[in-house]
Amino acid sequence: MSRVNPPLPPPDPVAAERPPAGRPSAPRAKRRRATLLMLGLAAVLLAAVATFWTAQVLAGREASAGYEAALQRWETPSEEAARATELAGAIADFDEELDGARTLSEVLPEALAGTESKAALAAAVTSGAEARDALGETGAEGARLPPHAVAPESVDGLRKATAAIEAALASRERAQRNAEESLRTVTQQRETLAAAADAARSALVAGAATQAEPLTSASPEALQALADASNAASTSPLPGAAAAAAALVAALDKVRAEHDAAVAAAEQKTAERVRSAATADDPASITVVVNKQRPFNPIDWEPGDLRTPAGIPNTNGQPVRGEAATALESMYAEASAAGLPFTITSAYRSYAYQTSLFDSYVARDGLAAAETYSARAGYSEHQTGLTVDLDDGSGCTLESCFGETATGQWLRANASRFGYILRYDAGQEPIVGFIYEPWHFRYVGAAVSEDMRSRGIVNLEDYFGLPPAPTY
């Protein structure tokens, strides 16, 4: 049997074109390179996208973290609002204190508090008012958070919100610093104002105490009210200081009024006793009143206790009554110690002597003129033995200018302490009937002379309630 070879398969067109094993064909290599290039580009693109989104995520996280941190700082308790509230309260108190101090300065009596403390308080008020005006209107609102209660979704929004919060934080810090500075200013001004007001009130209380010290005749109730008012004036808050000061002054006035009333009542009783003991009609009394309507009875009466004052220059050697002489010697000793010795130019004149003297004046000047400065016999105070005419050798003997000399002024101011009065003072002629004679002093006793001085009475007619005696 013969062996037949099988038929050959048809040729493979693809295989016919396939390159030899181990060596790719050119188109295939080209396609592979393109594929690899695309894969590389895709990888780069993916890496770029990954990097971008990673950066976006990181930026978002950073922006969110910054926002949260800023918000947390804002929400952390701050002293700004507390400082603003404290400042507003301090300014409100300062306004009240400033008004109180201003009113106190206006009503504070200078006679009690003194010029210096009153001026110092006024200066403190002025300074405080200027400082207050510089502060302006300061409230307690404080800085406010911008409207970002919910975090924005975008990074840009987060960043803007964070910047707004940071700005608000900076504003809050500035407000806190400003409030602290303003608070220091207000505190300093309040302390200065309070110190000046306290000094003025202390001076007021001290002045009231000094004036009240001699007012011992006031009632215990009035004195206690004064003590209470003094305490209130020292301790009351500054806004009420003016009212407390006014209450103190009123309390002092009441004490003074009660004291003066009590003293006046006592003086009235003393005066009544003096007047009841005095005899204006008895020529032997040291309070006898002799004038153009009240002659001696008997007309030629003579005192029986005359003596010449010892140690006093006496031009005519005329005597006075013993009690008057003793008082005159004391007055002369004190005047001499003050460097103002005087001389007696005329003292006791008898009825006969006065007749001769008056007639000589009439002959020289005429009756009408003579009767203005000299008395008729029986109507002259010199006949009492209680009257002296004094001189100091200054050239003003029996002249009105004697009242302007140092001796004349000293006698006017001090004679009442020794029981003497200036009998014919200026402006009294319609009552006493004689011209101003600043050299003519009459002894009436210290009780009457001091009573007259304290009550401002300058003639015996008014003191004893007698009618004026301008003419005979």
Which range in 149-158, 168-177, 270-279, 436-445 is most confidently predicted, on average pLDDT?
436-445
With 80 as the cut, is the pLDDT of residue 48 above it? Answer: no
pLDDT category of residue 36 using cuts at 50, 70 and 90:
confident
Domain with residues 306-463, CATH architecture: 2-Layer Sandwich (3.30)
Q: Could you give the CA distance from residue 399 to residue 221 in angstroms, rounded to a whole number?
A: 54
Cross-strand partners of 440: 389
Q: Could you give the CA distance from residue 163 to residue 46 in angstroms, rounded to a whole number?
A: 34
Which range in 50-59, 135-144, 386-395 is most confidently predicted, on average pLDDT?
386-395
- Which whole-number Å values give the CA distances from 129 to 94, 98, 189, 226, in the listed order? 10, 7, 9, 33
pLDDT digits (tens, 9 = 90+) for 286-302: 999 999 999 999 999 99
Question: Which has the higher per-residue pLDDT, 421 or 133?
Answer: 421
pLDDT digits (tens, 9 = 90+) for 56-94: 666 667 767 878 787 777 777 666 677 778 888 888 898
**What is this structure's pTM?**
0.48
DSSP structural state of residue 382 = G
Contacts of 164 (CB under 8 A, 6+ apart): 146, 148
Comparing C-alpha atoms, which of 252, 236, 123 is closest to residue 189?
123
Count of Cβ atoms closer than 10 Å to residue 442 Cβ: 23
pLDDT digits (tens, 9 = 90+) for 115-131: 999 999 999 999 999 88
Alpha-carbon Rg for the chain in angstroms: 57
Most distant CA pair in the chain, distance: 229
pLDDT category of residue 1 using cuts at 50, 70 and 90:
very low
Count of Cβ atoms closer than 10 Å to residue 199 Cβ: 17
Task: Report the C-alpha dihedral over residues 89, 93, 98, 103, rounded to 10 degrees.
Answer: 150
3-state secondary structure of 389: strand
Domain ranges of the chain: 80-215, 306-463
With 70 as the cut, is the pLDDT of residue 319 above it? Answer: yes
Q: Could you give the CA distance from residue 119 to residue 268 in angstroms, rounded to a whole number?
A: 42
Q: How many CA atoms lie within 13 A of 257 on its CB side?
A: 8
Comparing C-alpha atoms, which of 248, 466, 318, 286 is closest to residue 384?
286
pLDDT of 2 reads 45
User: By the 8 A CB rule, do 121 and 108 touch?
Assistant: yes
Structure tokens at 427: 């402006």
Question: Which has the higher per-residue pLDDT, 272 or 250?
Answer: 250
pLDDT of 62 reads 76
Q: Is the dihedral of CA 181, 185, 191, 194 positive or negative?
A: negative
User: By the 8 A CB rule, do 244 and 232 touch?
Assistant: yes
pLDDT digits (tens, 9 = 90+) for 426-439: 999 999 999 999 99
Comparing C-alpha atoms, which of 316, 460, 308 is closest to residue 385?
308
Q: Could you give the CA distance from residue 122 to residue 196 in angstroms, rounded to a whole number?
A: 9
